[in-house]
Every structure is written in structure tokens, then in C-alpha cells.
Structure 1
């Protein structure tokens, strides 16, 4: 029997989904607009006998996640944009040591302290690695509270499968809104994937001593490790691309994710009433980006309109996917301003000469 739908805030749905996915250790630090997530974890992780620590800083939190995951825990942290910036060194270390972890970024306006209003301006940070060195993280972008829960649940499995940090990139609107959600089932902790690579010692056991580190001072050895990791990234690109395409037979394709995609769906409804065919291409994995799917769509030679809550970041991946075969237009707002359905529809009509 499936669970009944609950009315939940996005931040709380992310937290509950993480617990049900088998998160056994959470380390956070308060920042708006994700504080409900940390507060929910404080109540419910401890009630289940799991680890919750409000760290002294974002830097401490991400390194606690690193240590717990290396010791075998399904570990998670969360924050909003400036806090995620502080975590980037630790994420780079985790990527370099092949440490699986989950980070939820409930994005706010920037740069700097910016605002506490919703934004999508962390796209470059998450999809390009964010920290120093050659690496990527899987990045999942929900458009609803339901997807925020579902993708959080998925994130833990992806992290374990590929031994990689996974970022749930939810703009502040997704984190703060309330919607109905059917939560995923609770995982039996005994059923979680076995980790045969975690740290250990030989005292009283037959297991070998293990040391997990991102450090390798022999250039040729480090190069070999990084190249092997990039072969894994290619496998991720082949197997883990996720997207949604609505209205393939369209005269113009809107490209958007998260809250911007919801706005574009509203614009599509306005267009349907006016007899104008608009399509929506929504990346769910921001990395790996669905470039091949978008490339095939560009063969129809119809214009693209990328809509973002930023000054234009994902639009660069759209242009790289299209490779000049069709025009790519951009509509964006920043600082916490959200595009409107009417604005997107008006821009689509302008591009189509309507």
C-alpha cells in the first residue's frame, strides 16, 4: 500500500527523503533559505538514533561529512550559496579521494552575501566542480517538492554507485514552497550497499589497513588516477542523463530547470490558448548535461529560448550543445527576481515574429 500524500515544505521533504534513503550522519550550519532542512534533521535524526551535528562552520561541516563517509556512513550536508562556497575545498578533497556524499544547495541570490531570495546563479559552481582541480559532481535539479524528495533519495544511491559527491540543486523557491508529496519508502540500513573500500585498521580484524586521501605527490601517479576518474565520468554521462521534454513538435523550445521550468510551463499554457506551439526542454541532471538530446532537438532548426534566474549560465551549455545550428536566445533575471509566465510568452512571440 502506497503512502498517502503529505503537504510539506521543500526543505523538509529533502530532509525526510534523506533519512528514508539511509542517511546516517548529517552535519550542517544554519543559513537562509535552507534552515528548515537543518532544523528537521535536528529533530528526526536524533529521534532515530542517528548522527546530527550543527558544526561550528560550513568548512567544519563538509569535512565531517568527508570523515563519516570514509568510515562507512551515508553522510550529508546542506547549505545555501555562500555556505556552499565555503564547502568547495572539502568537496574537491572528497572528489579527489572518491568519497561519496550528498550536498543540498538551496540557492539564493549572489554574488557575495547577495539576498535570501531564490536564484539559479550557482549553476557554474556546481556543474564545473566548484573547487580546485579536475573533477565533476553529479548535479540534480528538481522542479517540485515531489522531485526534491525523489531526487534526494536517488542522490544517495548515485553517490554510492559512482563514489562521487552528488549535489541536489534546488533554488530557494523549491526549498520554501509547500506542495503535496508522496515520500519514498524507508530503507532498511542493513540493505544499503556494502562499502569494501572504507578506512580500517588491522587490530582485532583480518581486514587490511586502509588510508583514504586525495594526495599523491608523484605526478604520473596522480595523472593516472585523474584519468581513470574521468573514464568513470564518461560512464556516468552514458548512464545517468535525465531530462524532460514536453511538446517536441514545437516552433520554439524553451530550455529551463527548477522554478524557471515551472514558469515556462505556464508560458506554454498561454501559448496553447493562442495557438502557438511552444516546447519545453528541462534538464534534470545539470551535470551530466543532456547535450546529445539537445543536439538532436536542434536538428529541427527551431529557435531556443533559455530561461534562467541568473545572468546566463546554463545558456552556455545550451549553445555548446546546439553548436550554431539554430539560434539560442536568453531571458534571465538575477538577485532573487523570478521571470513571469507573461514575460516568457511575450519573448517567445517576439522571437517568432508573432
Structure 2
């Protein structure tokens, strides 16, 4: 039977990975996600796993590449500047069609910035993964429980589509504590994937993992194959949540910590007689375009709330056929309050 345990988002992320069968973790310390490698360093050696602190984020992501090529469940975690350093390795993972889980607990930027919560890595996470046409499948949890659940799911999802999966959190959710329902830890898969390297043991043909394709038509075929997996993932893995009035005048949209702030604002606006609803993407790659398109013609106003200068809003605008979308935002690690969202909403209505 599952049990509920009080834990931080960082610890829940790490425990979710272990419960899913992850036994390999390579990383480099950076605040605000340091409790993930700390927990992994304590737990993995006790259950026959491998924890290794690399000399840099570049080394971490290439160690992930090596473990992923054997078909292992493998994870790394970092925060904004560290994820920037991993971009080349992420592109190599994509080019070699290797699954892995990468956690980004976003902090204020650009540059070294600060260790406060931010959402300014949205483009990095949804358009990133280095050079080439693709990015990571990306989940955006808004609670400690959802960090645990999304991380748990990410390994099977990554292996199903042979794609890296990004868990996009932030400094607030990473370090808040909430009761979290845990699952029984399961063992890693025992059957080696058909594509994984591992020698010619037991008559198995030799396998090669590679992201270098000098034959141009072959490179195009690889890209088309990866694109088809993205399309399949969009059909099967797109997730979102809706909250609030069933007949709203205003549609709020937000993800992560911004969505939690919006829920409180929506409840308080309802007390004033203003009908509002939240559409919260849980996946942002793939993006839940259908519910946005459905609501776009039913509301008077669409308001995007995010902790960046306006990155997430671009996907929202594309999903509502370029209808006007208004922005409420803070940046640089400044955390907005429900009162601020309410005040800005009143201003928008009055304008």
C-alpha cells in the first residue's frame, strides 16, 4: 500500500526516479537542486546503483549518454546555467535516439543570476536540447506530488519513444515541502532494449550507438524517424489540468508555481463575482493545443501568467489562433503574489 511522506520537491524528484527503477545518476552541484544529488548519493549505493559526481555539467551529460546507450534508466539534474552547458550532450542524445531524464530546477537569470524561482528557461527547455530540429519531451509539475509522479513516469515514456525527457521545475517547488504519496520501489528492467549496446553476448548481434551520419539521406531518415516519435508522443502523452468556473469570462493560463498562484487568485476573484478558469499545461512539449483552441472562442479575455518576460505566452498565442493574449509576469526571481495577479486582472478589465 502506498504511503504519504512529507518531503521537498527535490527529494520527491529523486525518490520518484529511484521508485521508477533508475539506478544511475551523474551530476554536478548547483543550487537550488542540490538535494537531488545529495539524496541520490545516499540512496543509490544502498540498492546497487551508481552515483557519480562529475567534474562539470558537460561531463555529467556525456556520462548520461554512455549509460543511456546500454538501455539503463539514467538521470541527471541541474539548474539553469548548468542546463545551458548540457545542450551539446542533449543534442547528441537526440541524434543517437537515446532516452534519459534531465531535471531543471530553474533559477533567476540570465548569467549566473540568483537562486530564486523563475520560469525563464521555457524556451531553453521546449526549443532547446542543443542544435538540430528537436527538443526534449517536457513536463511542468506544479506540486511536490506531481514532481514525484512525472519523474516516475518519465523513464518509461523516454524509453517508449527513445527521447530525452525534461522535468521543468523551479526553485520554489524544488524546496517546498508537501505530503507526497509514494509507490513501491520497482527494480530496473531486466530485458535489454533491442537497440542498446552490450556486445555479442548469447549470440546477440553487435549494436552501434551513433549521432554522426555523413550520408545525408540517412541523416534525413533519422530526423523523420525522430519526428514520427514526437508525433506519437503528442497523441499519447499530452497532459493538462483545468480548474475554476465552467462558464468563465476570463481564461488564465500558467504552469508550475505560477499556476498555483493563479488558483488562489481565481478562488478570490470568484468571491467578487468574476468567473475565471485556469488551463494549466502539464506537458509543454507536446503542448496541449486542443483545449486552448476550444476555450479561445468561449471567453472574453485570455491572460497568461508566468515568471519570465514572456516565453510561455508564445505557445499560448499559437494555440488560440493568435487571438489577443495578455501577460502578467515577474522576472529575475521575483515571485508574484495572488494579490498582484488580482490587481493586474482588475486593471486589464478596466482598460
Match among 287, 292, 298 for residue 300 of structure 1: 298
- Which residue in the other structure is 1:253 paired with? 251
* CA offset digits 1:24-57 (Å, max 9, x no partner): 1000100000001110000001111200000111
Please give the residue correspondences for 1:313-352 in structure 2 after superposition, counting only pairs within 5 Å.
Answer: 313-325=311-323, 327-352=324-349
Answer yes or no: is the 8 Å Cα contact 2:2–2:182 preserved in 1: no
1:100-119: per-residue Cα shift (whole Å, max 9, x none)?
00011000011110111111
**Contact 1:68–1:75, Cα closer than 8 Å, also in 2:** yes
Paired residue secondary structure (1:126): helix
Equivalent-residue separation in structure 2 for 1:34 and 1:83 (angstroms): 11
Alignment of 1:9-28 (within 5 A): 9-28=8-27
In structure 1, list runs of 5 or more residues that go unmatched: none
User: Could you tell me whether the CA contact under 8 Å between 1:199 and 1:209 is conserved in 2?
Assistant: yes
Q: How does 1:218-257 map to 2 (within 5 A)?
A: 218-247=215-244, 248-257=246-255
Match of 2:241, SS state, is: strand
Cα offset, 1:352, TM superposition: 2.5
Deviation of 1:127 (Å): 0.5
| Cα distance between partner residues in 2 of 1:217 and 1:350 | 57
1:105 and 2:104 matched: yes
Aligned to 1:53: 52
Aligned-pair CA distance for 1:79? 0.3
CA-to-aligned-CA distance 1:231-254 (integer Å, 9 cap, x gap)? 221111111110001134211011
1: CA distance, partners of 2:207 / 2:282: 36
* Aligned position for 1:277: 275
Query: How many residues are matched?
Result: 350
Contact 1:150–1:184 under 8 Å retained in 2:
no
Using structure 2 for the length normalisation, give the TM-score: 0.97
Q: Per-residue displacement from partner, 1:3-24 (whole Å, max 9, x unpaired)?
A: 2x11101101110111111001
Structure 1 length as normaliser, TM-score? 0.96
Q: Distance in 1 between matches of 2:196 and 2:100?
A: 13
The answer for the alignment partner of 1:77 in structure 2 is 76
Contact in 2 for aligned 1:260/1:309 (Cα 8 Å): yes
1:2 pairs with 2:5: no
Q: CA deviation at 1:350?
A: 2.3
SS of residue paired to 2:174: helix
88 and 35 in structure 1: CA distance in 2 versus 1, 3 angstrom threshold: same
Secondary structure in 2 matching 1:189: coil
> In 2, Cα distance between the equivalents of 1:348 and 1:260?
15
5 Å-filtered alignment, 1:207-226, equals 207-226=204-223
Whole-angstrom distance in 2 between the partners of 1:251 and 1:180: 34
State the Cα distance separating 1:228 from its structure 2 match.
1.9
SS of residue paired to 2:303: strand
Q: CA deviation at 1:320?
A: 0.7
Aligned-pair CA distance for 1:136: 2.2
8 Å Cα contact 2:64-2:74 kept in structure 1:
yes
SS at match of 2:39: helix
5+ residue gaps in structure 2?
none
How far 1:343 sits from its partner (Å)? 1.1
Report the secondary structure of 2:317's partner residue: helix
Look up the match of 1:128.
127
